[in-house]
Amino acid sequence: MAEFALIESIRTRCAVARDDVRLGIGDDAALLAVPSGWLLAVSTDTFVCGVHFLPDTAASDIGWKALAVNLSDLAAMGAEPAWAMLALTLPSADARWVEGFADGFAELARKHRVALVGGDTTQGPMSITVTIHGFVPPGAALTRAGARVGDGVYVTGTLGDAAAALSKTQSKSACDPQLLERLHRPTPRISQGSILRGRATSCIDVSDGLVADLGHICAASGVGAEIDADTLPASPALIAAFAAADRRAFQLASGDDYELCFTAPDAIATGLLRDLADSGCAAMRIGRIVAGADVQVRDANGSPLALPRSGWEHFA
């Protein structure tokens, strides 16, 4: 299958109609209309075989996750998703792989009405780059920079499932399908990001590990944070699969959960938590913002815990 047949196969599988796409795939550039009065939020993420996914991962799961991690970045800004670009580098023109990839991508794209509006298709070692575009009202975006001393620190959903699944996969052990689903098909917290927009004081998605990502909030906001290790939300599947010490290490230091970590003052916390719970993804208070510069983890007695290891970093 030649380049243009691959592109056509992707285009038909990923078709999502949107009025703001004035010209989509097929010309030298897409023509897109940003709604007046909104800001364009843009983010990109690259997936490299062997680094971000194992070589035997299903093509449809790779397609889902390549879009999911990008949508998660928009969620963390409180943005509404709209358009995606897809740069695919493939070792060969494997039509079945591309169809599977496009089907997984399209399944998630349809859930969020994301139109694929262009991209590039080239030959080389497998690498996938998605660029996502969304909209956010001026002044309401969630950034990493607004956390204030006294704010609570919260996280949506549960932490550690993806790392648990990866650990089981790498040791070739049996793994609960619910954990595998969290690794291969993460749920971007788009509607929760919209709920937080204009209300949370800061937000980040947990892609590299809670301590590392909350550390980014602290650095950008000029504050420190304390996490109560015993309050970290864990899924029943994670509790069944790993003892407390492993669980805690996954929850604190491993990435790939794509939950939202955010800060909010106590005065608005009750309403915010109720709205999040109503959205189908509750958030839990896991700590607080303090004066200082780094993230400390405390046990049930309030004593500091040594951190298992730091979050994921390329070139480290």
Binding site for Mg ion (CB under 5 A): 120
Q: Is 63 in the site for ligand ADP (CB under 6 A)?
A: no
Min separation Cβ 59 and ligand ADP, Å: 14
> Exactly one of 25, 212, 241, 264 binds ligand ADP (CB under 6 A); which one?
25
Q: How far is the CB of 52 from ligand ADP (least distance, A)?
A: 18
Residue 27 or 56: the one with the smaller Cβ distance to Mg ion is 27
Asked if residue 165 binds ligand ADP (CB under 6 A), the reply is no
* Cβ burial 22-45 (10 Å sphere, 16+ → b, else e): eebbeeeebebeeeeebbebbbeb
Number of residues counted as binding ligand ADP (CB under 6 A)? 13
Q: Where are the alpha helices (DSSP H) in the chain?
A: 3-13, 59-77, 95-111, 161-170, 177-184, 190-196, 210-221, 236-241, 244-253, 266-278
Residue whose pair of structure tokens reads 């204009």 in the numeric block? 198
25 binds, among Mg ion, ligand ADP, none (CB under 5 to 8 A by kind): ligand ADP
Q: Is 28 in the site for ligand ADP (CB under 6 A)?
A: yes
- Interface with ligand ADP includes 91 (CB under 6 A)? no
Contact (Cβ atoms closer than 8 angstroms) between residue 96 and residue 45 = no
Strand 115-123 with 80-90, pairing: parallel
Determine, following the binding rule CB under 6 A, whether residue 66 of this chain makes contact with ligand ADP: no
Q: Which listed range, 115-123, 133-141, 195-203, 267-275, lies at the site for ligand ADP (CB under 6 A)?
A: 115-123
Q: Which residue is nearest to Mg ion (CB)?
A: 120
Decide: is 121 part of the binding site for ligand ADP (CB under 6 A): yes
Place of tokens 């550039």: 29
Report if residue 27 touches ligand ADP, rule: CB under 6 A: yes
Give the C-alpha separation, 289 to 287, whole Å: 7
Nearer to ligand ADP, 118 or 287 (CB): 118
Judged by beta carbon distances under 5 to 8 A according to partner kind, the member of Mg ion, ligand ADP, none in contact with residue 119 is ligand ADP
Among 118, 134, 146, 224, binds ligand ADP (CB under 6 A): 118
Residue 118 or 146: which CB sits closer to ligand ADP? 118
116 near ligand ADP (CB under 6 A): yes
Scan for tokens 């794209």, then name that residue.
109
Q: Which residue, among 54, 46, 43, has the nearest Cα to 89 in the 3D structure?
A: 46
CA distances from 218 to 66, 206, 288, 293, 294 (A): 27, 14, 11, 6, 6
Given candidates 26, 35, 150, 222, which one binds ligand ADP under the rule CB under 6 A? 26
Range in contact with ligand ADP (rule: CB under 6 A) among 35-43, 114-122, 271-279, 305-313: 114-122
Helix (H, G, I), strand (E, B) or coil at 64: helix
Give the residue with the Cβ less far from Mg ion, 120 or 294.
120
In terms of phi and psi (left: phi > 0; alpha: psi -120 to 50; beta: otherwise), the region of 244 is: alpha
Please tell me whether residue 67 binds ligand ADP under the rule CB under 6 A.
no
Q: Are 183 and 162 within 8 A, CB to CB?
A: yes
Per the CB < 8 A criterion, the answer to whether 204 and 216 are in contact is yes
Structure tokens at 39: 């800001």
Between 29 and 306, name the residue whose CB sits nearer to ligand ADP. Answer: 29
- By CB under 6 A, name the binding residues for ligand ADP: 7, 10, 25-28, 86, 88, 116, 118-121
